[in-house]
Amino acid sequence: MKYPKDCSARKIGDKARKIVHYKVDTDHFIYRESTGLDVGTDCILELSENDEWHNEKIYCQVKGTLSPNFLATNEELISFPLDVKTINYALDSPFSFVLFLVDVTKEIVYYECIQEYYYQHKKRIDSLDDDQEKINIHVHSKNIFDPTNQDIRIFAKKEWKCKKRNENR
């Protein structure tokens, strides 16, 4: 008899999402797992300050790896291929859109805000060729997600202009 087979990608992805959920500071955030069709957002973190909700959110893409790919030329940067369609989706979001890259072996969660990554370096937007399926994002190894990290709260408060890459699109 034939039965469905499990795969390592599913196991790594499940571990990555569990690690991110575990690392969320529940005094300041509520973690909402996306269900149904995944169009680029795996979870949403909503910020609470002084026990109040002000619709300040972070949309999150969670990716797991057994061994992060540190660049040989700059060992502080981790290279990770991300779908161009996910990057475009992130750049059109009014909420911060954060890539969480999880080293499931060491249980370290690295992060990169996609809008900040592209808007600080406008030439990167030009590199998003419509013919490409994936493009490598470089996540700085100092960007470690943990409950004490204030950057994540700052991202939740940011609003982005949702500026389209091309007006003709």
Domains of the chain with bracketed CATH:
8-157 (3.40.1350.10)
- Answer whether 46's CB lies under 8 Å from 57's CB: yes
Whole-model pTM: value is 0.90
pLDDT in tens, 8-32: 999 999 999 999 999 999 999 999 9
Tokens of 143: 């960007």
pLDDT in tens, 127-168: 787 688 999 999 999 999 987 888 899 999 998 886 554 443
Confidence of residue 119 (pLDDT cuts 50, 70, 90): confident
* CA 55 to chain centroid: 19
Distances in Å between the alpha carbon of 1 and those of 5, 7, 56? 12, 19, 50
